[in-house]
Homo-oligomer: A and B are copies of this chain.
């Protein structure tokens, strides 16, 4: 009378056990291969596993609280910015190689989206969380504290992380670029970037840059922050706006290389020669730079490695190994050919 043909052809462990003529427990032991059964039993069970296409339900042991889950929540601002795509790729690669899966959350740079994503993902009992950025909403912080699971905050270097931290000193990278450009003799600068919340890493780069410029006696004449993704076209368009504003700038600092390339293209389009007429500096040392005749003056950051290091920190912690709380992934200046020489 009982057609086990219910709409979901769920094959559970007890069905397998029954078919194999053993108890649930025995079947469970065989599945986990932890010993305590005869070879003959193993064969009987495995035969049914294959025949029925049994796939364990990992939610059950998780509920029972014996195990910790194998997925890690990862929040990323957006994927239109190639830099974040690379970080995510690094995270997922490394997580995957250790048997963990990525649950993605795109926050679009807003703390509200991050908060609601955190709430949802937490309700699934993830093993841990990897979050981009150091600032979180009040409620998100409460949730995170309460959850008490491993957290890696990436991107920014953070002297007082929630838990673990992998990132780089954005302010310093901006400062170094500013100092470099001032030393080359530039005095009047422009900036083109995108604007999200004010507390993001790009703003901190700009702060560092700005400080270096004023420390060196130069001026940040004008800055344009567009409401857009930090990609090619906004760089192009932002540069158009900057130059059209009448600001006299000798060199433009961009949020990243994609935007810098967009700006580069705009400058050449209107007949400016680079670096003769105007200097261009980016950030990230992104892939496009490798094919340009004039390599972009930029800051090299190992994005993929940053993601991998974050995932490694998470995995180590989950395995109960010792983990360095904070890791500086570093950066280095790439002189390039888009600014004048000394």
Residue numbers of A with Cβ under 8 A of B are 1, 4-6, 8-11, 53, 55-60, 62-63, 65, 70-71, 74, 78-80, 82, 85-86, 88-89, 92-93, 96, 99, 101-106, 113, 117, 119-125, 142-143, 146-149, 163, 231-233, 235-236, 261-262, 265-266, 268-269, 287-288, 290-293, 325
Which of the residues B89, B149, B236 comes within 8 Å of A106, measured between beta carbons? Answer: B89
Bound-state CA distance A113–B63 (Å) is 27
Contacting residues, chain B, for A290 (C-beta < 8 A):
232-233, 236
Is B70 a contact of A120 with CB atoms below 8 Å?
A: yes
Is A121 a contact of B101 with CB atoms below 8 Å?
A: yes
Between A and B, 11 residue pairs with Cβ closer than 8 Å are A6-B148, A9-B146, A57-B123, A85-B85, A88-B104, A89-B106, A99-B120, A101-B105, A101-B120, A265-B291, A268-B293
Bound-state CA distance A230–B64 (Å) is 45
Contacting residues, chain B, for A117 (C-beta < 8 A):
96, 101
Is B291 a contact of A56 with CB atoms below 8 Å?
A: no
| Distance from A235 Cβ to chain B, minimum over Cβ atoms (Å) | 7
Contacting residues, chain B, for A120 (C-beta < 8 A):
70, 99, 101
Is B125 a contact of A53 with CB atoms below 8 Å?
A: no
| Distance from A47 Cβ to chain B, minimum over Cβ atoms (Å) | 16
Chain B residue nearest to A10 (CB atoms) is: B65
Which of the residues B58, B104, B287 comes within 8 Å of A103, measured between beta carbons? Answer: B104
Is A92 a contact of B63 with CB atoms below 8 Å?
A: no
Task: Across the A-B interface, give the 8 residue pairs with the lowest CB-CB distance, nearest first.
Answer: A5-B148, A53-B146, A58-B123, A265-B291, A79-B89, A236-B291, A85-B85, A79-B85
Bound-state CA distance A89–B82 (Å) is 12
How many copies are assembled?
2
Given A233-B291, A236-B290: A57 and B63 interface contact (C-beta under 8 Å): yes
Chain B residue nearest to A58 (CB atoms) is: B123
Which of the residues B4, B71, B104, B235 comes within 8 Å of A291, measured between beta carbons? Answer: B235
Contacting residues, chain B, for A266 (C-beta < 8 A):
291
| Distance from A299 Cβ to chain B, minimum over Cβ atoms (Å) | 19
Bound-state CA distance A44–B32 (Å) is 44
Is A89 a contact of B93 with CB atoms below 8 Å?
A: no
Contacting residues, chain B, for A293 (C-beta < 8 A):
265, 268-269
| Distance from A263 Cβ to chain B, minimum over Cβ atoms (Å) | 9
Bound-state CA distance A124–B57 (Å) is 6
Bound-state CA distance A22–B71 (Å) is 34
Given A53-B146, A265-B293: A59 and B125 interface contact (C-beta under 8 Å): yes
| Distance from A180 Cβ to chain B, minimum over Cβ atoms (Å) | 25
Bound-state CA distance A71–B86 (Å) is 23
Contacting residues, chain B, for A4 (C-beta < 8 A):
148
Chain B residue nearest to A6 (CB atoms) is: B148
Contacting residues, chain B, for A56 (C-beta < 8 A):
123
Contacting residues, chain B, for A63 (C-beta < 8 A):
57, 59-60, 63
Bound-state CA distance A323–B236 (Å) is 40
Given A59-B125, A82-B82: A232 and B288 interface contact (C-beta under 8 Å): yes
Bound-state CA distance A321–B74 (Å) is 31
